[in-house]
Each structure stands twice: as structure tokens, then as C-alpha cells.
Amino acid sequence: MRVMAQMAMVMNLDKCIGCHTCSVTCKQAWTNRSGTEYVWFNNVETRPGQGYPRGYEDQETWKGGWALNRRGRLSLRAGGRFKKLLTIFSNPKLPSIHDYYEPWTYDYSTLTDAPAQQHTPVARPKSLLTGENMKVSWSANWDDDLGGSTDHGHRDVMLKNLGDKVKFEFEQTFMFYLPRICEHCLNPSCAASCPSGAIYKRTEDGIVLVDQDRCRGWRMCVSGCPYKKIYFNHRTGKAEKCTFCFPRVEVGIPTVCSETCVGRLRYIGLMLYDADRVLDAASVTEPHDLYRSQRDVFLDPNDPAVVRAAEQAGIPRDWIQAAQRSPVWALINTYEVALPLHPEYRTMPMVWYIPPLSPVVDIVRDTGHDAEDKGNLFAAIESLRIPVEYLAELFTAGDVAPVTGVLRKLAAMRSYMRDISMGDAPDESIAAAVG
């Protein structure tokens, strides 16, 4: 066992209101500079939706696939000078500026000048770019917030596996917000794809950083990161990424996004993990097993054998105590309510999510029951407005059972706490039903 420490985050998606306070405060702190105008270390995207940059999850078909081209892949396998030469001639597939962010405003003349018509007019987004720079006006969130009522190709791709489960009808549309930062992966593909060795994972806390002096601007990391959470600063010619606010974390202050989140939905903590098991866990054959294999890499910080191994590895005692108090450990391993984003990317991401339960009304069977209704508690979960299959595509490589298990726990907790807040005796059988 080789014990290492890792900073990690869990976000509770039921609490995100998409206000972007986290994005804006992060931008003010870290990317309020020339060359990083388009960069959002923290972004909040609408799900289902195109994401930021758009299409980043569509690893196979969007723009021919984000993965490195054949020459690029070959260059990563080859060694020494040959590797460097091939890398020079490789052409990493990159999102364009239009995939990241196109500044827009609302065209209110659509409202004021609208002729008499059957439907109420709505303000349309209008690009602020001009001339050749102006493509189709879009931005992460604005069209997605319509919950799929505007049909577009990418949504079809994202929902392709859901079949008849999702119908493009207003009554069955759904959306929720997914805040994202760099995952500070245990197996970071950005670092693996950098020909200059400029990207490194800090030994003491696992934060992944770019050495600005060593970066040569190859941008292989942008292609190599499946989450597209590393960016090219076109002014400096270097790569930049979320730093997990390490200067703040080092002095005991939370990240800017966590501190300013109005929903208080971000939990930060230190995890202990077995570094010897990371690559094996990332290599399990069955994608459904990946979230479990990653969870099993984490070590119980209360286990005396783990504590001894951590001390022998030189991890300070107060860090071990921090891991013991970590809400992240509790949410992932003790209560098993947090799941990783796209574990099938196999980078072993360290930002995990509690999937959203709401809206809780059982609309499919039109019973009028909700998930606080004890008589209908678990039946309602099987027919929630947000299809469990969609959440499973995000968090468990399509395995529905673990997501359903989390939602049952959340619904039970809601029901239990409602009893208490209403002054009723809590129904212990509900807690017993979810273990």
C-alpha cells in the first residue's frame, strides 16, 4: 500500500441554481487577464445540453472526435527524439473559440417590433461578434435552459441511449445545472499527453498544475483532457487550468468557488488513496465497474493500518486528521451518495457529484404523488422527471442501479427530515429501507 493524499470536491446538484456566482468569482480571481477572456476554470452548464466547450462529451463524433489524431497517438507511444519529432508535426484537435464561448446579448427588438402573431414573441440571442467572427450565436446555458424544447443535434446524441424514455414534449422536459472545474484526476491524461513534461500532480495534495516555465504551448493537453478543462492562453502561448486555489488551500481557506457558492453545495476534503492501485483500477474492463473501482482506491482514514502507512509515507498528522473529518470521504465512501463524472474516461476524476433528485413529482404516472409522500416514496423515484438513465450516462457509464440507490437515499432523507421539521415522529422504516 502506497498512501497518498488528494484534495477532492463533492457537489450536491440538487442545490445548484445556476447563478454562476462561482464562475464569476473564479474569473475575477484567476482569469481576469488578457489572453484568458474565453476561459472559465469554473463553468456551470445546463444538462442536458451542449456543455462548455460545446460537444466536449462527444468524444467520438463531434468534429471527428476530440482524441488525438493517429499521429498524435503514435507520438505518445513512441519514445525519445522520435516522439518529439512526431509531436511537432501532430495537429492536436482543439475546440475553436466558437465552441467555447461566443459573447451575446438579447435582441429586444424582437419583442418591441414583433408583428401580430399566434405566439408570444421572445427575445432572441444576438452575437456581439462581427464580420467573419460571427458564427451561429450560442452560449452554454441560454438555449439549453429551454430543457430540450428546442431540438438540436447534440441533444439527440446525448440522449441517444434513452430511446422512448425521453419525449420531446414540454410536459416531460427537464434540466438541471452541472458546475464543473478541473477534476484533478488521479490518472491525469493532460499530464500524460504533454510532450514537455510541464504538467505535474503535486505529491502532497494531488493538485494538478502547469509549470509555466516548461510549457511550450503544444496544446496536446487540450486534446488529451476528456473534460476539456485545460485552456490555451493565446497571449502567453501557455496552457492554463484550475489550480484548486492552491495558495488559499495551503493556508486553510476554501477555494473561491466553494466559498462564494450561494447554494453551499460544494464540499472540499482531503482523501487518502492507494497510489499502487490507481492504474489497475482505471483499467478495469467493464465501464460499469469504473466508479466502484475508483471508490475502492480510496482508503479509510480511520483504519489504524491506513493511519500507520500514511505516517510512514510522511503525510503530516494534521492532514490525516483532516482526511478523517473529510465530508468528501463520508459522502463518497461512508454514505455512498456521491458519484464521479464520466468514470468511463478512466482518468479517475476527483470531483464527485450527488445526482439531482428534483423535480420530485411523479409526472409519468400522473399520480400527483411526490417523493416526500411516504406511501409512494420509492415508486416515485422509478419515474422521476429526470430519467435515471440520463443520470447514469453522466455518472456510472450507464449503470442505473447505483444511481437509483442514491436517489432512494436522498428521497428517504427528505421524507425523514420533513417529518422532523413538521414536528412528527420520523418514520424509521423509511431509513431502514435504504440501509
Residues that bind ligand SF4 (CB under 6 A): 16-22, 44, 177, 179, 182-185, 188-190, 208, 225, 227, 229-230, 241, 261-263, 265, 347
Nearest approach in angstroms of CB 301 to ligand SF4 is: 23
E strands, 112-157, where?
Answer: 124-127
Nearer to ligand SF4 among residue 184 and residue 385 (C-beta): 184
Nearer to ligand SF4 among residue 176 and residue 329 (C-beta): 176
Answer yes or no: are the C-beta atoms of 277 and 297 closer than 8 Å: yes
Nearer to ligand SF4 among residue 38 and residue 177 (C-beta): 177
- Report which of 73, 405, 380 is spatially closest to residue 65, judged by C-alpha positions: 73
Nearer to ligand SF4 among residue 148 and residue 356 (C-beta): 356
Nearest approach in angstroms of CB 96 to ligand SF4 is: 19
Say whether 7 sits in a helix, a strand or coil: strand
Nearest approach in angstroms of CB 275 to ligand SF4 is: 15
Answer yes or no: are the C-beta atoms of 23 and 44 closer than 8 Å: yes
E strands, 220-276, where?
Answer: 230-233, 238-241, 266-274
Distance CA(387)–CA(357), nearest Å, equals 10
In this structure, what C-alpha cell is assigned to residue 364?
Answer: 409519468
Nearer to ligand SF4 among residue 27 and residue 154 (C-beta): 27
Q: Residue written as cell 422532523?
A: 420
Nearest approach in angstroms of CB 36 to ligand SF4 is: 15
Nearer to ligand SF4 among residue 179 and residue 362 (C-beta): 179
Q: DSSP assignment, residue 231?
A: E
Alpha helices in 159-289 (DSSP H): 189-193, 220-224, 246-249, 256-260, 278-282
3-state helix, strand, coil in the chain (%, to 5): 40, 15, 45
Cα 25–Cα 26–Cα 30 angle in degrees, nearest 5: 125
Nearer to ligand SF4 among residue 282 and residue 371 (C-beta): 282
Backbone angles phi, psi at 364, to 5 degrees: -65, -45
Say whether 35 sits in a helix, a strand or coil: coil
Q: What is the residue type of 127? A: S
Nearest approach in angstroms of CB 24 to ligand SF4 is: 9
In this structure, what C-alpha cell is assigned to residue 141?
Answer: 446555458
Nearest approach in angstroms of CB 419 to ligand SF4 is: 27
Nearest approach in angstroms of CB 388 to ligand SF4 is: 22
Nearest approach in angstroms of CB 23 to ligand SF4 is: 7
CB-count exposure of residue 23 (10 Å: 0-12, 13-18, 19+): buried
Indicate if the alpha-carbon torsion angle 356, 361, 367, 373 is positive or negative: positive
Nearer to ligand SF4 among residue 188 and residue 402 (C-beta): 188
Q: 46 pairs with which residues across the strands? A: 177
Distance CA(218)–CA(387), nearest Å, equals 40
Nearer to ligand SF4 among residue 54 and residue 184 (C-beta): 184
Nearer to ligand SF4 among residue 158 and residue 182 (C-beta): 182
Nearer to ligand SF4 among residue 88 and residue 262 (C-beta): 262
Distance CA(239)–CA(220), nearest Å, equals 10
- Biggest distance spanned by C-alpha atoms of the chain: 77
Q: 179 pairs with which residues across the strands? A: 44
Nearest approach in angstroms of CB 242 to ligand SF4 is: 7
DSSP string, 36-59: -TT--SSEEEEESS-TTTTTTT-T
Nearest approach in angstroms of CB 224 to ligand SF4 is: 7
Nearest approach in angstroms of CB 254 to ligand SF4 is: 13
Nearer to ligand SF4 among residue 134 and residue 279 (C-beta): 279
Nearest approach in angstroms of CB 385 to ligand SF4 is: 20
